Amino acid sequence: MYGIEKRIFLNDSFNKLKSVSKVQRAYRSEFKSKSAPSYSVIMNIVNNYKKSGSVHRKSVLSRKRPVRCDDLIKRISELYLGDPKLSLRKIQSLVPASISTIRNIAREDLNLKPYKVPRSFQLLSTDYAKRLKLAGFFDSRRVNLETMFICSDEAFFYLHGGHNIQNDRIWGHFQPEEPVQQPLNDSKVMVWCAFSGNKVYGPYFFENTVNGETYLEMLKNFFWPRHLYYEKKQRYFFQQDGAPPHRCKLVQEWLKDKFGDRFLDSSKWPPRSPDLNPCDFSLWGDLKSKVYNPRPKTLQELKDNIEREIKIFSKTDLKSIFLNLKKRLVLLKQVNGRHFEHLL
């Protein structure tokens, strides 16, 4: 781009003016140009002259293009077999090939694809037997999950619904400088809900801290009066997880008195198992995808949205959730109590 005359001019001008900006102005004036060489171009010419005594361009020894040979393919295959998490850049530092060549070999010769590793909750080795024990309990008692099983849980709903940075995109000519403000401590509400294949009990909004006393008060004054409407109420099984308010002695005793051996207490329900609780794997996710349309401005509007969405749950929706639970229990036994959601 810059011939020998211009390179000499740039080098001599810099040695005389000692300023890149002044050299650029002199260049535009001398060669009647609206643009001038950048800082890096000028300094490269000057530094090259200091090292070699010449303003000619240095001959660049181009890197020999790697041959896509069997040895290279074999080496890259061995690296991926040893550690599938190796990045293209890391492999580039280990083999004589460019990133594009490595990518092409991985895709075309080795038939590899870059998959995202799925993430899930952690299970302890002691959890496997407890999860299998739950499946055995359902089998031994011949529990009709579609009609005679009540699951329950609580969840927080935040007023602004959390923040997804993937949505922080704007089309424009300039980078926006003003950040979008988010509340440091977002307002939230604790929601309790229970449902069977026939009915939804809830929602119930906890206005204060949830502990054993407030949880038991909700069961007595909110849940139980609604459950009494069922003629065959004594045939229902009731489930709750091992949250601290649920493990309260008074709560456990009250539920055992009402449901007897059909209450799945903390000894029957396995810990760290949201994949077996329909509230976790279905209800909360479905609600949180809907209650922010329209987006609430106050906690009361958020509560109204939650109530609206729960009211329109149909019996078809409820039964399909428990059919999903039946499928999960079958898979749970097949994998001996381990993770099974990748098989769904």
Query: For the chain, which ranges sit under pLDDT 70?
Result: 1, 58-67, 162-168, 174, 177
Task: Tell me whether residue 312 is in a domain.
Answer: yes
The radius of gyration of the chain's CA atoms, rounded to the nearest angstrom, is 34
Provide the residue range defining the domain that includes 37.
4-52
Residue 45 lies in a domain: yes
Per-residue pLDDT, 276: 94
Q: Write down the pLDDT at residue 315.
A: 78
Same domain, 243 and 305: yes
Query: What is this structure's pTM?
Result: 0.68
**Residue 214 contacts residue 182 (beta carbons within 8 Å):** no
Asked if residue 267 is part of any domain, the answer here is: yes
**Domain contains 121:** no
Whether 42 is covered by a domain: the verdict is: yes
Burial label for 200, CB within 10 Å (0-12, 13-18, 19+), is middle
Strand partners, 200: 195
Same domain, 43 and 132: no
Tell whether 290 and 337 lie within a shared domain. yes
Query: Residue 195 in contact with residue 150, Cβ under 8 Å?
Result: yes
Is 271:242 a contact under the CB 8 Å cutoff?
yes
Considering the domain architecture, whether residues 74 and 39 belong to the same structural domain is answered as: no
With respect to residue 176, please indicate whether it lies within any of the assigned structural domains.
no
Question: What does the pLDDT read at residue 282?
Answer: 92
The DSSP output letter for 120 is -
The CATH number covering residue 258 comes to 3.30.420.10
Looking at residue 304, what is its pLDDT? Answer: 94
237 and 193 within one domain: yes
DSSP for 16-47 reads HH--HHHHHHHHHHHTT-S----HHHHHHHHH
Same domain, 138 and 255: yes
CA end-to-end distance (rounded Å), the chain: 61
User: Distance between CA 176 and CA 36 in Å, rounded?
Assistant: 29
pLDDT of residue 155: 93
Same domain, 158 and 26: no
**Is residue 225 domain-shared with residue 305, that is, in the same domain?**
yes
- Give me the pLDDT at residue 182, please: 73
Q: Are residues 155 and 94 in the same domain?
A: no
Same domain (yes/no): 237, 291: yes
| 246 touches 281 (CB < 8 A) | no
Whether 157 and 302 have beta carbons less than 8 Å apart is answered as yes
**Torsion sign (Cα): 210, 212, 218, 223:** positive
Burial class (CB within 10 angstroms; exposed 0-12, middle 13-18, buried 19+) of 264: buried
- Give the phi and the psi of residue 296 in degrees, each rounded to 5: -70, 150
Identify whether residues 25 and 75 lie together within a single domain. no
Distance CA 121, CA 339 (A): 9
Comparing C-alpha atoms, which of 69, 37, 30, 315 is closest to residue 199? 315
Q: How many residues does the chain have?
A: 344
Instruction: Evaluate whether residue 175 is within a structural domain.
Output: no
Structural domains in the chain (count): 3
The verdict on 222 and 253 lying in the same domain is yes
What are the tens digits of pLDDT across the range 112-122?
998 888 888 89
**Within-domain flag for 177:** no
Give 53-77 pLDDT, tens digit per residue.
Answer: 888 876 554 455 556 788 899 999 9
What contacts 87, CB < 8 A, 6 or more positions away? Answer: none
pLDDT tens per residue across span 177-186: 677 777 777 8
